[in-house]
Amino acid sequence: MSTSPDGIYEPGIIDPGLPSNSPTQPFWLSQPSKIHNLQSPWPNQADIIIIGSGITAASLTRTLYTHKPNLHIAILEARALCSGATGRNGGHCKVMSPGVWFERQHAYGTAEALRVMRFEHAHLGELAQCVKENEIQCDLRLHEGVDVYHDQHTFRRAVRALEDMRRYAPDLAEKYTVYTSKADLEARHCPVESIGAISMPSGSMWPYKFVTGLFEKYLHDHNFTIQTNTVVTDILETPDYGIVKTTRGEIKAPIIIHATNAWMSHLVPELQPFVSPVRANVQRHVPDSSIRVDNSLWLRYAEHDYDYMVQRPDGAFIIGRANTGRRATSDDGDMDVLPQTHLRTVVPALFDFKSANVRVTHAWSGCVAFTQDGNPFVGKWPGERRHQWVCGAYQGIGMVRAFRSAQALARMVLGLDVGEFPRSMVITTDRLRRLDLSVRAKL
């Protein structure tokens, strides 16, 4: 629903439809994996079917195989492997500005807000551990993530949020460092117009290589099948299993997991009032200079208005935009004029690349999913979809929400305890009822 908390998109309930047949080409897919278009031998039946092949699907598969290595898991992907949001994002693993603390505290209460914040911060360590234990070559780099503020009100609010957070969780507040001196700001390549900055642990990686690296391992070690270029058209329910209809045939399984993020409400239309597909915009900039930026940057003009910048080992910058001008759509075959123009002009005007010659080698879009209450949907879908589970709609910050959400869902599927997973992210009839009342009030 386009009345989500960000409130910057045209209103209305949107069916995301199916993924575009001619999507824009992101930099991350410039070195395709050998399994990029894999179609394994067709299975008529599996233990678990996962629809989608991004970071959610990879994490689901990893956790499921950790506990039950003999499962037969089948991945269904409408296009090439990892060609959705994971293959189109900024490759940046960093939590949001500390200013969101107040919003979450108001929405969920202090205890749950702390669970959400800890949950997101824990992603960096989880991803790093996964990369190390599986020896995945995905350019993982751990560094300082710096929120650079250009608005005094937004900066002061973020500092107050840290002060309030420290009352309840000093260890969590200690993850952040506030910078105001000119020397500290210059050392982190903050634009001269900035008035302050707040840093936190962050990381970056080649997300496509991370996911495909895991999938290659599972294909070698487990009963694992991948069906790319296979569009799911419908799901039928029977007492014992669900039947997944695709453009290449049918597969049945007792457990079917929707892991398609912005597109999942097409097959689960009951989600459409609560989830908005939103098109994000990203570019790759290559300056004609030897500038090295060890930290990542989020240029914050207001709480919900920012650009992010991450430098890669080859010297290029991945830059993305979050602001008005984006569209509530699932079409990643097109781009948005204002954000793309902004990335080409405003960012180089603010940030000193140490060169006037900055080439844009790639420009692309990707679809994320915003929710009515700011939280993803994780769990078993109630009612008649007795064999269907959902894991997605990450509010545009999937790199600090998807991996551990999928871990929790896999444990739910296996009947295991999920620990400190935020309960506000779990699908319940009460949550859906509250969301329905909220949507009705705004229509």
Predicted confidence (pLDDT) per residue in 356-391, tens digit = 999 999 999 999 999 989 999 999 999 889 999 999
Name the pLDDT band for 181 (thresholds 50, 70, 90): very high
The pLDDT assigned to 4 comes to 53
* Chain segment 32-79, per-residue pLDDT in tens: 999 999 999 999 999 999 999 999 999 999 999 999 999 999 999 999
Model confidence at 3: pLDDT above 80: no
Structure tokens at 141: 């780099």
CA angle 229, 322, 348 (to 5 degrees): 105
For residue 314, give the nearest of 362, 366, 349, 282 by alpha carbon: 362
Question: How large is the average pLDDT for residues 139-151?
Answer: 97
pTM: 0.96
Task: Name the pLDDT band for 443 (thresholds 50, 70, 90).
Answer: low
Q: 3.50.50.60, 3.30.70.20, 3.40.1280.10, 1.20.120.1690: which CATH number matches 1-442?
A: 3.50.50.60
Reduced to 3 states, what is the DSSP secondary structure of residue 35?
coil
Share of the chain above pLDDT 70, in %: 97
How far is the C-alpha of 48 from the C-alpha of 257, rounded, in Å?
8
Instruction: Please name the residues in contact with 186: beta carbons below 8 A apart, sequence gap of 6 or more.
Output: none
- Is residue 116 over pLDDT 70? yes
